[in-house]
């Protein structure tokens, strides 16, 4: 269980001040299918040393990802740019909240250096929400993408962005930098937004994903949701339809895991067979790629999944090309 207090700095205050006075919620016992090995392999330690040496933040640590042992043992770290403090206070998230520090202009170079040292063929870059910035951090995202391209031209880049709510022109800046995959998570079904993701707007997030394809039809788009928060099955299926209407290529579905007793409660653990049914339905609705399992996370197996995503698009294009030739 992750603590609600931030013990990484001396005399630190609450990690989530907006949650500190909330009543504790019941924590359900995890089922057998949600078990992971503790981190600590030699490669994990090497990854950790590179992250520390470059003074970088990872969402793997900040969000308390259960897959950190597996991913870091493959040198697959997901970098979280624009600081470690988020201006939003989502009920599910373990990232620290409050007023962020100034943007670090040297961060793009340090991220690029770490990507090169880790030898990443595919990298995922995410960020905190920065509602305090005029562009929401869009220019910084673009700077990071360009820095990685310069030092590791063979590395494919996947970004997981905030929603850039009320930041006119921000999305265009990021798309112009041409990441290989543009990911923005819906996180949950729309009926839960007021309690789970109160700072966001469901249809704005959908429109953001749709707009990416309007700006660059060749760019892969991706989105993800958590389950176990109180959603109904029909709501998930409708969300899939909404994403397909926005021409989203890749869907991830994972089990919500409660970071602390102060966060939104896990209302149920979804069985693996139900995740399999979500995957079947999502493919039937036209997604090129689907990852649905209890431990699925946005950046989990991202490199392998990107290769499958490209192959699926190529396979879909071949019949139409043959028809045109005939």
* Spacing of C-alpha 21 from chain mean position: 28
Q: What is the pLDDT of residue 12?
A: 60
- Which pLDDT tens digits describe the chain residue by residue (326 residues)? 344 444 444 446 788 998 888 889 888 889 999 887 777 789 989 999 999 999 999 989 988 888 888 898 988 989 999 999 999 999 999 999 999 999 999 999 999 999 999 999 999 999 999 999 999 999 999 999 999 999 999 999 999 999 999 999 999 999 999 999 999 999 999 999 999 999 999 999 999 999 999 999 999 999 999 999 999 999 999 999 999 999 999 999 999 999 999 999 999 999 999 999 999 999 999 999 999 999 999 888 899 999 999 999 999 988 766 656 66
| Residue of 166, 218, 156, 158 whose CA lies nearest to 184 | 158
Q: What is the pLDDT of residue 37?
A: 74
pLDDT at 110: 97
Contact 223, 200 (CB under 8 A): no
- Residue 10, pLDDT score: 45
- The pair of structure tokens assigned to 206 is 């959908």
Query: How confident is the model at residue 36, as a pLDDT?
Result: 79
Contact between residue 313 and residue 138 where contact means Cβ atoms under 8 Å apart: no
Strand partners, 58: 79
CA distance readout (Å), 124 to 55, 148, 292, 303: 17, 11, 19, 9
The predicted pLDDT at position 137 comes to 98
pTM as predicted: 0.92
Phi and psi of 189, rounded to 5°? -70, 155
Please check whether residue 162 is in contact with residue 95, taking contact to mean a CB–CB distance below 8 angstroms: no
pLDDT at 8: 46
User: How many angstroms separate the CA atoms of 140 and 259, rounded?
Assistant: 28
Report the Cα–Cα distance between both ends of the chain, in Å, rounded: 60
Q: What local confidence, expressed as pLDDT, does residue 62 receive? A: 86
Q: What pLDDT is stored for residue 325 in this prediction?
A: 63
- The 3-class secondary structure across the chain, one letter per residue, is CCCCECCCCCCCCECCCCCCCCCCCCCCCCCCCCCCCCCCCHHHHHHHHHHHHCCCCEHHHHCCCCCHHHHHCCCCCCEEECCCEECCCCCCCCCEECCCCCCCCCHHHHHHHHHHHHCCCEEEEEECCCCCCCCCCHHHHHHHHHHHHHHCCCCEEEEECCCCCCCCCHHHHHHHCCCCEEECCCECCHHHHHHHCCCCCHHHHHHHHHHHHHHCCCCEEEEEEEECCCCCHHHHHHHHHHHHHCCCCEEEEEECCCCCCCCCCCCCCCCHHHHHHHHHHHHHCCCCEEEECCCCCCCCCHHHHHHHHHHHHHHHHHHHHHHHHC
């Amino acid at each position: 269980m992750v603590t609600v207090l931030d013990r990484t700095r001396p005399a630190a205050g609450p990690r989530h001040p907006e949650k500190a006075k909330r009543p504790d919620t019941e924590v359900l016992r995890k089922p057998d299918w949600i078990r992971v090995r503790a981190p600590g392999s030699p490669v994990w330690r090497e990854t950790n040393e590179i992250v520390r040496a470059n003074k970088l933040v990872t969402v793997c640590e900040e969000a308390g990802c259960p897959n950190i042992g597996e991913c870091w043992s493959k040198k697959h770290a997901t970098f979280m740019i624009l600081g470690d403090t988020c201006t939003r206070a989502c009920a599910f998230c373990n990232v620290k909240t409050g007023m962020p520090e100034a943007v670090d202009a040297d961060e793009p170079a340090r991220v690029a250096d770490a990507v090169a040292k880790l030898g990443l063929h595919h990298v995922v870059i995410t960020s905190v929400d920065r509602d305090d910035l005029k562009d929401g951090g869009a220019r910084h995202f673009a700077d990071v993408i360009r820095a990685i391209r310069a030092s590791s031209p063979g590395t494919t880049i996947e970004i997981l962005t905030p929603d850039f709510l009320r930041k006119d022109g921000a999305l265009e800046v990021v798309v112009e930098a041409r990441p290989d995959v543009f990911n923005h998570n819906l996180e949950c079904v729309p009926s839960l937004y007021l309690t789970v993701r109160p700072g966001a707007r469901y249809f704005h997030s959908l429109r953001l994903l749709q707009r990416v394809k309007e700006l660059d039809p060749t760019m892969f788009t991706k989105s993800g949701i958590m389950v176990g928060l109180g959603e109904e099955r029909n709501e998930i299926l409708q969300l899939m339809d909404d994403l397909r209407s926005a021409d989203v290529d890749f869907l991830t579905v994972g089990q919500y895991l409660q970071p602390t007793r102060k966060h939104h409660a896990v209302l149920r653990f979804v069985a693996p067979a139900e995740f399999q049914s979500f995957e079947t339905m999502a493919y039937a609705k036209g997604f090129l790629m689907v990852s649905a399992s209890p431990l699925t996370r946005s950046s989990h197996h991202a490199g392998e999944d990107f290769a499958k995503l490209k192959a699926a698009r190529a396979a879909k294009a071949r019949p139409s090309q043959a028809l045109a030739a005939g």
